[in-house]
Amino acid sequence: MKDILDKLDERRAEARLGGGDKRIEAQHKRGKLTARERIELLLDKDSFEEIDMFVEHRSADFGMEKQKIPGDGVVTGWGTINGRTVYLFSKDFTVFGGSLSEAHAQKIMKVQDMAMKARCPIIGVFDAGGARIQEGVAALGGYGEVFKRNVIASGVIPQISVIMGPCAGGDVYSPAMTDFIFMVRDTSYMFVTGPDVVKTVTNEVVTAEELGGASVHTAKSGVADGSFENDVDCLLQMRRLMDFLPSNFEAGPPTWPSFADIDAIDESLDTLVPDNPNKPYDIKELITKVVDEGDFFELSAAYAKNIVIGFGRVAGSTVGFVANQPMVLAGVLDSDASRKAARFVRFCDAFNIPIVTFVDVPGFLPGTDQEYGGLIKHGAKLLFAYSQCTVPLVTVITRKAFGGAYDVMASKHVGGDLNYAWPTAQIAVMGAKGAVEIIFRGGTPEQIAAQTKQYEDRFLSPFVAAERGYIDDVIMPHSTRKRIARALAMLKNKHAEMPRRKHDNLPV
Ligand code: HXC
Query: In the predicted model, what is the mean pLDDT of residues 452-463?
Result: 86
Query: Is the minimum distance from the CB of 140 to ligand 1 under 6 angstroms?
Result: yes
Query: Is the minimum distance from the CB of 212 to ligand 1 under 6 angstroms?
Result: no
* CA nearest to 17, candidates 70, 83, 88, 96: 70
User: Amino acid identity of 108?
Assistant: I
CA of 93 to the centre of ligand 1 (A): 9
Give the three-state DSSP class for 217: helix
pLDDT given for residue 22 in this prediction: 96
Nearest CA to ligand 1 atom 20: 97
pLDDT given for residue 451 in this prediction: 85
Cβ–Cβ under 8 Å, residues 287 and 328: no
Query: Is the minimum distance from the CB of 379 to ligand 1 under 6 angstroms?
Result: no
Pocket residue to mutate for ligand 1, from 96, 177, 191, most atoms within 8 A of Cβ:
96
Residue 441 pLDDT grade (very low, low, confident, very high; cuts 50, 70, 90) = confident
Atom from ligand 1 closest to the CA of residue 139: 51
CA of 99 to the centre of ligand 1 (A): 7
pLDDT given for residue 245 in this prediction: 98
Query: Is the minimum distance from the CB of 122 to ligand 1 under 6 angstroms?
Result: no
- Tens-place pLDDT, residues 243-256: 999 999 999 999 99
Pocket residue to mutate for ligand 1, from 22, 133, 189, most atoms within 8 A of Cβ:
133
User: Amino acid identity of 95?
Assistant: V
pLDDT given for residue 437 in this prediction: 81
Query: In 203-236, which positions are buried (b, 16+ CB within 10 angstroms) versus exposed (e)?
Result: eeeeebbebbbbbbbbbeebbbbbbbeebeebbe
pLDDT given for residue 366 in this prediction: 93
To the nearest 10°, report the CA torsion of 130, 136, 140, 143: -50
pLDDT given for residue 457 in this prediction: 82
Atom from ligand 1 closest to the CA of residue 171: 52
Q: What is the pTM of this model?
A: 0.95
Q: What's the DSSP call for residue 441?
A: T
Give the whole-angstrom CA distance, residue 481 versus residue 293.
12
Cβ–Cβ under 8 Å, residues 317 and 353: no
- Tens-place pLDDT, residues 71-94: 999 999 999 999 999 999 999 999
Query: Is the minimum distance from the CB of 96 to ligand 1 under 6 angstroms?
Result: yes
Residue 447 has pLDDT above 90, yes or no: no
pLDDT given for residue 231 in this prediction: 98
Give the whole-angstrom CA distance, residue 7 versus residue 25.
26
Active site residues: 169-170, 404-405
Q: Which residues have C-beta within 8 Å of that of residue 115, sequence separation ≥ 6?
A: 78, 87, 121, 122, 153, 157
Give the whole-angstrom CA distance, residue 235 versus residue 247.
18
Query: In the predicted model, what is the mean pLDDT of residues 188-214?
Result: 94
pLDDT given for residue 150 in this prediction: 98
pLDDT given for residue 12 in this prediction: 95
pLDDT given for residue 458 in this prediction: 81
Query: Is the minimum distance from the CB of 99 to ligand 1 under 6 angstroms?
Result: yes
Run of H or E including 467 = helix 463-468
Residue 42 has pLDDT above 90, yes or no: yes
Phi, then psi, of 182 in degrees rounded to 5 = -125, 150
Largest CA distance in the chain: 102
Question: Lowest mean pLDDT: which of 87-96, 171-180, 366-375, 445-454?
Answer: 445-454
All structural domains of the chain, each given as residue ranges with its CATH number in brackets, are 2-242 (3.90.226.10), 267-425+461-490 (3.90.226.10), 431-460 (no CATH)
Question: Lowest mean pLDDT: which of 291-300, 312-321, 414-423, 453-462?
Answer: 453-462
Residue 432 has pLDDT above 90, yes or no: no
